[in-house]
Amino acid sequence: MSTVYVTREVNFNAAHRLHNSAKSVEWNQSVFGKCNSENWHGHNYTLQVTVAGVPDPDTGYVIDLSILKQVIHDHVVRHIDHKNLNLDVPFLDGIIPSTENLVVAIWNQLSNALPSGKLYCVRLFETPRNSAEYFGPINET
């Protein structure tokens, strides 16, 4: 049987500030603009997690979507929903919480937590028009 890709979508809200403490105030304001506000800013994020695999012959599932929902909640959403991504989330400590960095960090939280299937893609929408996706370290050089 062929590989099937199953996606679960969840939403969360979080605040952050894009800021590189190794750079000057001027540099940060120039590079990050409004996203560098000292008073933070927030987003209504949409997270899509895609799992790949061959459907189980007994269930027809690559992964039970209710289990995937719980894994995403336990390993990601409960840690970041309604949080300050710069201050409140241990797995983001020391990371500039850009959408690009968030998809890698979320991948790392989920990659070994799935009971079946294989994590294929983490896609995060910061806004309806801005997103990043990550397919894991296999394709990195």
Active-site residues, by number, are 35, 82, 126
Cα–Cα distance, 21 to 38 (Å, whole number) = 12
3-state secondary structure 47-73: EEEEEEECCCCCCCCCCCHHHHHHHHH
Question: Is residue 18 helix, strand or coil?
Answer: coil
